[in-house]
Copies of this chain bind each other. A is one copy, B any other.
Amino acid sequence: MKLYDYILSPSCYKVRLMAALIGVKLDLRPVDFHPGGEHRSPELLALNPAGSIPILEDGDLILTESSAILVYLAAKVAPEWLGSGKAKEAARVQQWLSFSGRLTASLGTARLHEMLLRPGNIGALQALGTAALRELEAGLVEQGLRGMRFLASDRPTIADIACFPYAALAPDGGVTLDAYPAIRLWSRALRALDKFIEMPGIHRLHELKPEPQIEAGEA
């Protein structure tokens, strides 16, 4: 399986993270995603006319939506990451997969604005991102009341992987996570998973890392 990948793309990181967690080896093909980069080359536009990455290629299958790639990896190797398959849980997984698009459109675009000077109304993007983070926080609090630590279930699913990167990188777009204790707790639970990988080069991802010594001292 070949992944057309850009190391600083949170959407590509979703795929790398999922693959790492379930032990899938990807054939990484780095793409220059800066403005004017090769994601607009004829080769890549033939694979994905939308000009976006990640792109996963496996034989005659080409997937260009990160949520679809998560479904594919999980369905192939680790179906427990799709949820139990019961109607309510399947619906909750899809609710957050669809919702993740709102994180990308708001926090992701704010991040590109701040980091790559992509044009946009930064105030409006941050307001949309804040609204989305409030919904994510409320969803996690509700799950907590049901005794569940993750977005759709008591164990992590592709829904968590779809929402985690753009939420965790909100500060890159100028939106703080200070007001969202449930999101921070959930981020720690994801980071504590066996085989979790960080997104390289992103300092802020490290700031929320579990600090067992300090926590033990506080307890």
Task: Give the chain B neighbours of A102 by CB distance below 8 A.
Answer: 50
**Contacts A131-B49, A131-B50, A138-B49 known; A90 to B72 CB distance under 8 Å?**
yes
Q: Is A87 within 8 A of B94, CB to CB?
A: no
Q: Which of B64, B69, B90 contacts A75 (CB 8 A)?
A: B90
Residue of B whose beta carbon sits closest to that of A66? B98
A141 interface hit (Cβ, 8 Å)? no
**Complex CA–CA separation, A91 to B64 (angstroms):** 10
**Complex CA–CA separation, A91 to B91 (angstroms):** 16
A92 interface hit (Cβ, 8 Å)? yes
A52 to B: closest C-beta gap in Å? 10
> 0/1 per residue, A85-109, Cβ < 8 Å to B?
1111011111101110110010000
A63 interface hit (Cβ, 8 Å)? yes
A61 interface hit (Cβ, 8 Å)? yes
**Complex CA–CA separation, A53 to B74 (angstroms):** 30
**Complex CA–CA separation, A72 to B91 (angstroms):** 5
- A sample of 20 inter-chain contacts (CB < 8 A) reads A50-B131, A61-B88, A61-B92, A64-B95, A65-B95, A65-B98, A65-B99, A67-B98, A68-B92, A68-B94, A68-B97, A70-B94, A71-B94, A72-B91, A75-B87, A75-B90, A97-B98, A98-B98, A98-B101, A105-B105
Interface residues of A (CB under 8 A from B): 49-50, 61, 63-72, 75-76, 82, 85-88, 90-95, 97-99, 101-102, 105, 131, 134-135, 138
Known: A61-B91, A68-B92. 17 other contacts (CB 8 A): A49-B134, A64-B95, A66-B98, A67-B97, A67-B98, A68-B95, A68-B98, A71-B90, A71-B91, A72-B87, A72-B88, A72-B90, A75-B85, A75-B90, A94-B97, A97-B98, A101-B101
